[in-house]
Chains A and B, each alone.
Chain A
Amino acid sequence: MSVPVSQMFTVASYVIRQKLAGRKRYPLVLMLEPLFRCNLACAGCGKIQYPAQILKKHLTVEQCLKAVDECGAPIVSIPGGEPLMYPDIDKLVVELVKRKKYVYLCTNAILLEEKLDLFTPSPYLTFSVHMDGLREDHDEAVCRDGVFDDAVQGIKAALRRGFRVTTNTTLFDGASPLRMRQFFDEMMTLGVEGMMLSPGYSYSKAPDQEHFLRQTRTNQLFSEMLSGNKKRWKFNQSPLFLRFLMGKKDFECTPWGNPTFNMFGWQRPCYLLQEGYAASFKELMETTRWENYGKKSGNEKCRDCMVHCGYEATAVDYTFSSLKGFAETVAVTLTGKL
């Protein structure tokens, strides 16, 4: 696994503090969406279908920072929309780094090379580049030719200048395990710090409704992709989450683990479902009917979901909830065998 020790230590001490304080529900990663505008319209994305006046709007830096302070999570992921289109992205990142938040700026990297001058390399800042597979597969997933090459160019430029760079990959039904293994090789050869994987979620508003993975198929695909994983493949996520995707662990969703804030407020109940908005983080945590979500709830919207924003927090919590969980994580981390 490729998460730097300092980041692991920060997350571990944060989780332990929550446990010592007796907090049953705590956030791990704040999903901060400063805007919905994007320069792509990917087939599997249900995040950007809004009227023009909404797409033109964005949060102020002050609104973003207020949300960060309210939430208190040690990691801030900035998806969108395309965050490099956010006019104050440089100011926002500077403020987050000042607060010692680990920032994952999730970008399609089309603008990355052009915007790199806005940023300073830091252990707290990672460009998490959207890459859904090899050139043809990625361009098909994002519905535009040439995006893979643009992203590779952006990654190379960022790495040359000393930035932390990871990839994030969303997988849909029909993905080829063999081609994905080739993709992992190619990304590691590029020199990225690590890769993040997740199955896609069947957004009801996404243009493509036919290729979302169901649970059994997810297990099969990830098992074929990751069995006998090469030592050189580094993953920037919990190894237990990957084992869950492979069908080797059974976890329940932690919908409050990655709370989402955007121009509408605090999104209920999670990053994927939009069932309403709370005016404050406290209101979100205290008034959301959490029992209505996750597999055990029987909610059909949660039935096939195995997405990182619901289950990675579970995997991290599991690691620090028992000696068994901790030992399992250490063993997988040290041996590298998933």
Chain B
Amino acid sequence: MTLEGWVPQINEYLSLGEVVEFAFDYRGNTTVVKRDGTEVVGYVFNRNADAPEPFIQLFDEQGDGPFTIPYRDIATIRFTGKDTAAGNSWKAWVERKEKEKALRGAASGADRLGRDPGPHGG
């Protein structure tokens, strides 16, 4: 499940505060659309909804920052960047290792890891 590509509409069912929370949890760049029509692309690494003036903080696409943007200046946040936590490199690794183990097992006639599981259950 990833929010990559999501363009939330702030309305009575979805508040800006909720969208900010999603953006804070998102491990990819987002596009912050400001009320004046300008946009900032970057990684939202912090937010404080309890501050007297609620704000988000981000590093932009070039890594510059941190920049602070008050909630009141934000129209919405689009989830435009790649979700770096949604990769499948680990799954690909597991599948490759499983194939190797199966081949070794077939060659030796015994599946050692079946008796003595490795760190990921063999």
Contacts and interface: CB of A to CB of B under 8 A. Distances in A.
Partners in one complex: yes
A205 interface: yes
B5 to A, nearest CB: 15
A276 B84 CA distance: 19
Interface stretch (A70-78, A174-182, A251-259): A174-182
Given A49-B85, A51-B43, A136 B118 contact: yes
B17 to A, nearest CB: 14
A276 B43 contact: no
Contacts of B38: none
Given A49-B84, A49-B85, A276-B47, A174 B59 contact: no
Contacts of A56: 63
Contacts of B122: 174
A53 B90 contact: no
Contacts of A137: 118-119
A3 interface: no
Query: Do most interface residues of chain A lie in helix, strand or loop, or is the interface mixed?
Result: loop
A140 B121 CA distance: 11
A50 B120 contact: no
Given A57-B63, A276-B46, A51 B81 contact: yes
Nearest to A200: B119
A175 B119 contact: yes
Contacts of A50: 27, 43, 84
A87 interface: no
Interface string A29-41: 0000000000001
Interface centre among B24, B27, B118, by most A CB within 10 Å? B118
A156 to B, nearest CB: 23
Interface string A113-149: 0000000000000000000110011001101000000
A50 B87 CA distance: 11
Interface in A27-85: 41, 43, 46, 49-51, 53-54, 56-57
A49 B28 CA distance: 8
A54 B43 contact: yes
A141 B120 contact: yes
Contacts of A205: 27, 85
Contacts of A210: 120
A53 B44 CA distance: 12
A208 B89 CA distance: 10
A98 B2 CA distance: 46
Interface string A259-278: 00000110000000000110
A85 to B, nearest CB: 16
Contacts of B82: 51
A211 interface: yes
Given A51-B29, A54-B43, A264-B46, A133 B59 contact: no
B112 to A, nearest CB: 10
A211 B119 contact: yes
A179 B84 contact: no
B120 A179 contact: no
Interface string B54-72: 0001011111001000000
Contacts of A136: 118
Contacts of B93: 43, 143
Contacts of B81: 51
A276 B57 CA distance: 10
A276 B118 contact: no
A284 interface: no
B26 to A, nearest CB: 10
Interface of A: 41, 43, 46, 49-51, 53-54, 56-57, 132-133, 136-137, 140-141, 143, 171-176, 178-179, 205, 207-208, 210-211, 264-265, 276-277
Give the 5 A-B CB pairs with smallest separation, nearest first.
A207-B90, A174-B121, A53-B63, A205-B85, A49-B85
Interface of B: 24, 27-29, 42-43, 45-48, 57, 59-63, 66, 81-82, 84-85, 87, 89-91, 93-94, 97, 116-122
14 contacts: A43-B93, A49-B84, A51-B84, A53-B29, A53-B61, A56-B63, A143-B93, A175-B117, A176-B117, A208-B120, A264-B46, A264-B66, A276-B24, A276-B48
